Amino acid sequence: MEIERHEYDVVVIGAGGAGLRAAIEARQQGKRTAIVCKSLFGKAHTVMAEGGAAAAMGNVNSDDNWMVHFRDTMRGGKFLNNWRMAELHAKEAPDRVWELEAWGALFDRTKDGKISQRNFGGHEYPRLAHVGDRTGLEMIRTLQQRVVALQQEDERLHGDAEAYIKVFAECTITRLLKDHGPAHGPGGAIAGAFGYWREHGRLILFDAPAVVLATGGIGKSYVVTSNSWEYTGDGHALALLAGAKLINMEFIQFHPTGMVWPPSVRGILVTESVRGDGGVLRNSEGRRFMFDYIPEVFKDKYATTEEEGDRWYTDQANNRRPPELLPRDEVARAINAEVKAGRGSPQGGVYLDVSTRLPAAEIVRRLPSMHHQFKELADVDITAEPMQVGPTCHYIMGGVEVDADTGAAAVPGLFAAGEVSGGMHGSNRLGGNSLSDLLVFGRRAGAGAAAYVDRLAARPSVPEESVAAARAEALAPLERAGENPYEVHQELQRTMNELVGIIRNADEVTEALEAVKKLRERAQNVGAAGNRIYNPGWHLALDLRNMLLVSECVARAALLREESRGGHTRDDFPGMSAEWRRKLLVCAASPDGSEVTVEEKVQPAMRGDLITLFDRAELEKYITPEELADFDALVRE
């Protein structure tokens, strides 16, 4: 069986916001770039992002600037964030948003014709550039159309539209390949990527010295999730198997508001914009329960009465924001607690009501796709009645450990950006910080990969034996008459949902690890009926390896971190620990993936000019006395 072979400078895996922005950058730097994606071009998960892209442009409130955004991001992540990433993100997001506009994006406007910005959880000022509630679609389409524009330019210049940037759609990468030759050291360097075409099942090999992972998240390891089938943790697993490290894997964001009914749409996202634009959460007794859940660290920043919270929408200078706009981890836990206490809605959620808060026409204008989604899928008219919502697995804060400035992973030639990378969001991501993250770090990873290729003395080459091994691995499920992969997948989803979900404890996570171990054995024997032509059973059988590997990382890290912080809540360790704040959990795997190890690593101390952006009183809630002493010394200087 022949393997199709292509040579590129940079291969970008994933065609969401981060992947496309990385590819555009690599191409603009003159690199021959391939974009490889599992779905059709323009269908990536970014399309589902609703609320907006956070960027401190100051168009609506001129007091906003990068320092305020940086502080909000660090607070949202409970100070576990990679502060250099949070700094770069806050500084560069406005330029990345403006750049989209020059590529044809049409954001909603302010009265003076600038890009409008909306309120969102955890953001001190209106900060999210948006288009109604379909901002992700606007972003993906704009980036897609930018790729097309570059292709048109290449057509004019070189007579070939795909000379410098080509999309390999419906193509799945199953292995990264490395050169272990003398020039590239014993650890080896990236030499290429191996995969298959979904359409006809033929195998494909990319020879490339640089690979950018932009594969998104891992939500398909959970039953209730806002994520699509693509989110099987491919990039996380590819990186591990290539020898890179993952950090912060215990931190998973359960978005507070997913649909809960009907069952078939359970988990589908209900945008935070509903709350940003005035929507409130109520329990079955009609109480706005979020006022009961303002945590100590945020006490002085949120309204304590409904009256004050309501006034905030029109007068932010003199009032504090309503607690419905606390960071997502807080709201999700509160909803979970209300339901557990028996104050939930009939279908096991709570009520999210915007119908009594805004005129019907305004709701349809600001939240058109929510209106459409509830009407079509649940027979609920959100302009007239409340929605029922509950937490849904939405986003993983953890991912490939990268250099903040270049997106470089520990393996030479490997880069990562967007959800698949870790660090930027710490233990919890603020809404709106994802779309801006994709743009800022997509561009940086593309530039990092291009610069790496420029520095290379010799192109690495793919060893034939690793191609043979990748080929055998990819075809194995077709050659077995084993168990149905769908059953293994469903069991994994139930396991993770029930045992490593929103609230965790040592016993349950230990049980999950046992279950995952058994599932890994079963996955070795799953078989795929049918041939290689567009065969979803075969595809799932291959994706299982990634989901299982990533699930093990999540569970192992979750067991080790004996505290509660952001997207990791342990009911056996309910407090947040300043000692743990300084520690990152770093996952690694053996090359065959059979063994996962987790090590502690010390988070580097924040740079002086950044930590002094915070008040001492706030830092006291997060950092150790020794760190506080260092801070005092800094301030005295």
Classify strands 10-13 and 210-213 as parallel, antiparallel or unpaired: parallel
Give the residue with the Cβ less far from other proteins, 79 or 107. Answer: 107
Work out which of 1, 159, 264, 636 binds other proteins, going by CB under 8 A: 264
Q: Are 393 and 227 in contact (CB under 8 A)?
A: yes
Work out which of 28, 228, 461, 577 binds other proteins, going by CB under 8 A: 228
Give the residue with the Cβ less far from other proteins, 105 or 515. Answer: 105
User: What DSSP state is assigned to residue 422?
Assistant: E
Strand partners, 557: none
d(CA 422, CA 251): 10
What track of x and - describes contact with other proteins for positions 595 through 624 (by CB under 8 A)?
Answer: ------------------------------
- Tell me how far, at minimum, the Cβ of 101 lies from other proteins, in Å: 5
Give the residue with the Cβ less far from other proteins, 294 or 528. Answer: 528
Q: With CB under 8 A as the contact rule, which of the stretches 142-150, 391-399, 465-473, 602-610 interacts with other proteins?
A: 142-150
Q: With CB under 8 A as the contact rule, which of the stretches 109-117, 301-309, 338-346, 615-623 interacts with other proteins?
A: 109-117
Among positions 42-71, residues that touch other proteins (CB under 8 A) are 42-45, 47-48
Q: Residue 566: left (phi > 0), alpha (psi -120 to 50), or beta? A: left
Q: Does 529 bind other proteins (CB under 8 A)?
A: yes
Tokens representing residue 637 in the block: 């200087």
What track of x and - describes contact with other proteins for positions 531 through 550 (by CB under 8 A)?
Answer: x-xxxxxx------------
What track of x and - describes contact with other proteins for positions 339 through 378 (by CB under 8 A)?
Answer: ------------------------------x--xx--xxx
Q: Are 54 and 93 in contact (CB under 8 A)?
A: yes
27 is catalytic: no
- Tell me how far, at minimum, the Cβ of 133 lies from other proteins, in Å: 10
Q: Which of 328, 443, 545, 565 is catalytic?
A: 328
The type of residue at 134 is R
Work out which of 58, 94, 327, 442 binds other proteins, going by CB under 8 A: 94
Q: Are 15 and 37 in contact (CB under 8 A)?
A: yes
Other C-beta atoms lying within 10 Å of the C-beta of residue 317? 7
Give the residue with the Cβ less far from other proteins, 411 or 547. Answer: 547
Q: Rounded to the nearest 5°, which phi and psi values hold at 268?
A: -65, 140
Q: With CB under 8 A as the contact rule, which of the stretches 314-322, 481-489, 513-521, 599-607 interacts with other proteins?
A: 481-489
User: What DSSP state is assigned to residue 56?
Assistant: -
Q: Does 131 bind other proteins (CB under 8 A)?
A: yes
Q: Are 14 and 420 in contact (CB under 8 A)?
A: yes
- Tell me how far, at minimum, the Cβ of 540 lies from other proteins, in Å: 8
Work out which of 192, 431, 446, 485 binds other proteins, going by CB under 8 A: 485
Among positions 421-440, residues that touch other proteins (CB under 8 A) are none
C-alpha dihedral sign at 433, 439, 442, 444 = negative
In sequence order, what are the residues at sequence separation of 6 or more whose Cβ sits closer than 8 angstroms to the Cβ of residue 433?
Answer: 54, 73, 76, 89, 424, 425
Q: Does 40 bind other proteins (CB under 8 A)?
A: yes
Give the residue with the Cβ less far from other proteins, 99 or 630. Answer: 99
Work out which of 185, 187, 262, 348 binds other proteins, going by CB under 8 A: 262
Please give the size of the binding site for other proteins, defined by CB under 8 A: 69
Q: Rounded to the nearest 5°, which phi and psi values hold at 587?
A: -95, 140
In sequence order, what are the residues at sequence separation of 6 or more whose Cβ sits closer than 8 angstroms to the Cβ of residue 472?
Answer: none
Give the residue with the Cβ less far from other proteins, 373 or 466. Answer: 373
Tokens representing residue 341 in the block: 């206490």
d(CA 225, CA 235): 19
**Residue that is written with structure tokens 């291009």 in the block:** 450
- Tell me how far, at minimum, the Cβ of 500 lies from other proteins, in Å: 23
- Tell me how far, at minimum, the Cβ of 273 lies from other proteins, in Å: 14
Q: Does 229 bind other proteins (CB under 8 A)?
A: yes
d(CA 284, CA 305): 19
Distances (CA, A) of 389 to 291, 296, 355, 374, 501: 18, 25, 15, 11, 17
- Tell me how far, at minimum, the Cβ of 202 lies from other proteins, in Å: 13
Among positions 265-304, residues that touch other proteins (CB under 8 A) are 265, 268-269
- Three-class SS of residue 261? coil
C-alpha dihedral sign at 271, 272, 276, 278 = positive
- Tell me how far, at minimum, the Cβ of 436 lies from other proteins, in Å: 15
- Tell me how far, at minimum, the Cβ of 451 lies from other proteins, in Å: 23
What track of x and - describes contact with other proteins for positions 146 through 185 (by CB under 8 A)?
Answer: --xx-xx--------x------------------------
Angle between helices 135-158 and 433-455 in degrees, nearest 10: 30
Give the residue with the Cβ less far from other proteins, 294 or 380. Answer: 380
Q: Are 267 and 231 in contact (CB under 8 A)?
A: no
**Residue 148, CB-side half-sphere exposure with 13 Å CA sphere:** 10
Q: Rounded to the nearest 5°, which phi and psi values hold at 525?
A: -115, 10
User: What DSSP state is assigned to residue 399?
Assistant: E
Among positions 487-516, residues that touch other proteins (CB under 8 A) are 490
Tokens representing residue 128 in the block: 């999210």
User: Which residue from 214, 210, 184 is spatially nearest to 463, judged by alpha carbons?
Assistant: 184
- Tell me how far, at minimum, the Cβ of 160 lies from other proteins, in Å: 12
- Tell me how far, at minimum, the Cβ of 263 lies from other proteins, in Å: 6
Which residues are known to be catalytic?
A: 328
Contacts to other proteins by CB under 8 A = 39-45, 47-48, 94-95, 98-99, 101-104, 106-109, 112-114, 116, 131-132, 134, 137-138, 141, 145, 148-149, 151-152, 161, 199-200, 228-230, 261-265, 268-269, 369, 372-373, 376-378, 484-486, 490, 528-531, 533-538
